[in-house]
Amino acid sequence: MNLPPHKQTTDVVVIGCGAGGGVIAKELGEAGLSVVVLEAGRRYDPTTDYHTDTVDFEMRAKTVFAPDDDRRDRYTLPRGDSFAYSRVKGVGGSTLHYRAISPRLHESDFRVRSEDGVADDWPISYQDLEPFYTQVEYELGVSGPDGAQANPFDPPRSKPYPTPPHAFNCASKVVKRGADRLGLHMVRDPLAIPTKAWNGRPACIGAGTCHLGCSIAAKSSIDVTYVLKAQATGRVDIRPGCMAREITVGPDGKARSVIYFDAAGREQEISARAIVAAGNAVETPRLLLLSTSSRFPDGLANSSGLVGKYFTEHLGVFAYGLFSERLDPWRGAPSGGLIQDYYATNARNNFARGWTIVVTNSSHWPLSVAQRVPGWGTEHKARTKQLFAHFTGVASIGEQLPDVRNHVTLDPIVKDNLGLPVPHLVNRVHANDQAMITAISVRLKELLEAAGAIEIWGNEHGPGESAHYLGTCRMGTNPSTSVVDPWCRAHDVPNLFIGDGSVLVTCGSVNPALTISALATRTAEGIGTAFRRRDL
C-alpha cells in the first residue's frame, strides 16, 4: 500500500545536527522561525548511553557510536588507497566524539593566496568572523589560557576565554619539558569543556572519556548545548533517524522540499522556504549530487562543477614516545596542549603553510594499550606492562592544500542500507603536503627526544585519521569558482544554504569545530536577515 506522503511545511529545514546544523537550528529558532532538523543518527542520552563507569567500559563504550546496520556508514576508495573516513552520526554529530579542542583560525588563514601564493583567499576575513567566534565560545564555555599563559600565536580576541584553562597532566608536563628545551611555546589548548559550571552543566572532572561520550555532560557537545536551547524555543523540531535523500527544486529555481527516510524507513517529504544542508564535507556534497533535476543535471547548486571538489583534510602524523617515569596520561582532558610555533609559512621550508602540534593523551586505558601491542603470551604482557602509563603521543594538524584532484563523488555501484549510492572518496597527498609531512615527522621526533623519550615509534601519516573533513562546497564571490557566496548561500539556488565544514576555502591547521560553529552562527544571522527582509 502506497499512501501519498503526509504534506508537511515549515520555515527552514536543516539537514544534519552537528557543529553546524545544531547551531543554525538554535539561532533560527531563537529568531522566531519554525525549524525542522533532519538528523540521520539517533539521539544519545549521556546519563544512560555512555557506559564509562564499569570495569568493562572499554568493551562497552567503544561501540556506542557504531551504527546498527554496518551498511549505513559505507564508503568507497580508489583501489589501493587507504583513507579512514570516521564520523559520528547522531544528534550532536561528530561533536559527540570530538575531544573539544577549540582554537580559532589565524588571520593569515583567510589570506592564503595573497600571503603565500597558494590555494585561495577567503571572501571573508578573520575580523568578519571574530564576533561569531566569541559568541560560540561563550555558548560552549570554552576554557583557555589568558595573560602570561596565553598562546603567543593566538589571533586578536575581543573577549577573554569564558572559563580558565585546564591544568597540564603529568604526560603533558613531560612533553612541555621538551618544548621548553627547544624554545617552543607549548600552551594549554582552548577546550570546549568548561572548567567551572556553565549554563547548567557541571565542571569537568577530568575523567578523560571525551571521545567515548561524556556521561556528566561536562563536555560541550552540540546535543547538550545548542540542541537543548533550540528545543527550549519550542519552534525547533529535532527528528533523529531521518536521512535526507534529495532536495527538490521548484519551477522558480528555488529549493522546494526535502525528501527523506524517516526513522521507520518510510519516505517523507517536507517543504520549506529555506533549506540548510549541514551533513558534513562528505554528506553535503553527496546529497547535492543525489539531487539531480532537469535544471541541475549534475547535482544541485553545481553549475560550477565544484560540488564535492577540493576535498581536504588535516595532515595527521602521529608519534609516540616511551618515558622512564610514570605519566598516567589518562588523567584529565585527553588533549593535553598545543604548539603553534610551526603554524606560519616559513621561507626556509620547501613548502607553504604549516601545522599545529597537539598532545594526545587519549585511549591510554589498559585494554587500549594492550590492543596496541601485537602478539600474545608472555612477550605481549611484558610489553604492555612496559608501555602502560609510560607513553604518550603527539600529533600534527597540518594544512593540506585544497586540490581539485581530491574529491567526493557518488559510487556508481555500492549502496547504503537505504539504497542510496555511498560516497566515493579521493584524498591523496600532493607535493606540498608530502613535503610538510616529512618536515612534521622530523619535528615530532625532535620534540619527543627533547622531552626525554627513551623509545619513539609511529611517526607516520595516517590518511583520513584527522577526522577533519573540509572544503567540498567552497565559499567565494565568483559563481564559477565557488559553490556558495560569503554568507554560505548557494550561488545557484537563492534559498539553499550550506552550514558545515564544506564551505571552508582552506582548512587552516586547527581543529575545525569552532570555526564551523562560528560560520554557522554567521550563516544563521544571514538567513534571519533574509527572512526579515522577506527575501525568502
Taking the complex as a whole, the smallest distance from the CB of residue 465 to another protein amounts, in Å, to 11
Residues 6 or more apart whose CB falls under 8 angstroms from that of 78 comprise 424, 426
Q: Which is nearer to another protein, 297 or 376 (CB)?
A: 376
Number of residues that bind another protein (CB under 8 A): 44
DSSP-derived pairing of the beta strands 391-399 and 312-315 = antiparallel
Whether the CB-CB separation of 438 and 103 falls below 8 Å is answered with no
Contact between 124 and another protein (CB under 8 A)? no
Q: Which is nearer to another protein, 185 or 383 (CB)?
A: 383
CB-based burial label for 311 (10 Å; 0-12, 13-18, 19+): buried
For another protein, the closer of residues 156 and 377 by Cβ is: 377
Judged by beta carbon, residue 54 or residue 529, the one nearer another protein is 54
**Any idea which residue has 567551572 for its cell?**
196
Interface residue with another protein among 89, 97, 99, 331 (CB under 8 A) is 331
At closest approach, how far in Å is the CB of 207 from another protein?
A: 4
Contact with another protein (CB under 8 A): which of 50, 133, 296, 487?
50
- Residue closer to another protein (CB basis): 298 or 325: 325
With H, G, I as helix, E, B as strand and everything else as coil, classify residue 81: coil
Q: Is 431 in the site for another protein (CB under 8 A)?
A: no
Q: How far is the CB of 187 from another protein (least distance, A)?
A: 22
Least spacing, CB of residue 205 vs another protein, in Å: 4
Minimal distance, residue 282 CB to another protein, in Å: 20
In sequence order, what E strands does 92-239 have? 186-187, 236-239
Sign of CA dihedral 288, 293, 296, 297: positive
For residue 264, give every residue at least 6 positions away whose Cβ sits within 8 Å of its Cβ, in sequence order, or none. Answer: none
Q: Which CB atom, from 74 or from 185, has the smaller least distance to another protein?
A: 74
DSSP 194: -
Sign for the pseudo-dihedral over CA of 345, 350, 351, 354:
negative
> Are 329 and 169 a contacting pair, CB within 8 Å?
yes
Give the CA radius of gyration of the chain. 22
Q: Contact between 322 and another protein (CB under 8 A)?
A: no
Element at 437 (helix H, strand E): helix 431-451
In whole angstroms, how close is the CB of 82 to another protein at the nearest point? Answer: 8
Q: What sections of 145-189 are H helices per DSSP?
A: 170-182
Q: Binding segment for another protein among 23-31, 114-122, 124-132, 371-379 (CB under 8 A)?
A: 371-379
Judged by CB, which is closer to another protein: 203, or 259? 203
**Please, which residue, 68 or 252, has the CB nearer to another protein?**
68
Give the residue with the Cβ less far from another protein, 55 or 413: 55
Q: What is the residue type of 3?
A: L
Among 377, 419, 533, 534, binds another protein (CB under 8 A): 377
- State the pairing for strand pair 7-15/35-38: parallel
Q: Considering only residues 395 through 424, tell me which ones interact with another protein, judged by CB under 8 A.
A: none
**Residue 216 within binding range of another protein, rule CB under 8 A:** yes
Among the listed ranges 36-44, 141-149, 203-211, 527-535, the one in contact with another protein (CB under 8 A) is 203-211
The only residue of 132, 310, 330, 391 in contact with another protein, by rule CB under 8 A: 330
Binding characters for another protein, 54-93, by CB under 8 A (x = yes): xxxxxx---x--x--xx-----------------------
Nearer residue to another protein within complex by CB, 97 or 489: 97
Q: Does 378 bind another protein (CB under 8 A)?
A: yes
Could you say whether residue 374 binds another protein (CB under 8 A)?
yes
Q: Considering the complex, what minimum distance in angstroms separates the CB of residue 352 from another protein? A: 28
Of residues 205, 263, 431, 454, which one binds another protein by CB under 8 A? Answer: 205
State the binding string over 442-471 for another protein (x if CB under 8 A, else -): ---------------xx-x-----------
Q: Return phi, psi of residue 132, to 5°.
A: -75, -35
Bin 298: left if φ > 0, else alpha if -120 < ψ < 50, else beta.
Answer: alpha
Residues making up the chain, counted from first to last? 536
* 295, 366, 405, 480: residue in contact with another protein (rule CB under 8 A): 366
Does position 52 interact with another protein (CB under 8 A)? The reply is: yes
User: Which of 156, 210, 163, 216 lies closest to 190, judged by CA?
Assistant: 163
Q: 160: exposed, middle or buried (C-beta count within 10 Å: 0-12, 13-18, 19+)?
A: middle
For the bound state, the minimum distance from the C-beta of residue 263 to another protein, rounded and expressed in Å, comes to 17
Question: Which residues are CB-contacts of 315 (< 8 A; sequence separation ≥ 6)?
Answer: 355, 396, 397, 398, 399, 400, 429, 433, 436, 437, 440, 461, 466
Closest alpha carbon to 362 in 514, 434, 467:
467
**Chain centroid, CA 469 distance in Å:** 7
Please give the C-alpha separations between residue 482 and each of 27, 151, 275, in angstroms, as whole numbers.
Answer: 26, 33, 19
For residue 337, what is its C-alpha cell? 596542549
- Judged by CB under 8 A, which of 6, 9, 32, 53 binds another protein? 53
Contact range with another protein by CB under 8 A, out of 13-21, 110-118, 254-262, 368-376: 368-376
Q: Which residues bind another protein (CB under 8 A)?
A: 50, 52-59, 63, 66, 69-70, 205-209, 215-216, 328, 330-331, 365-367, 369-371, 374-378, 380-382, 384-385, 388-389, 457-458, 460
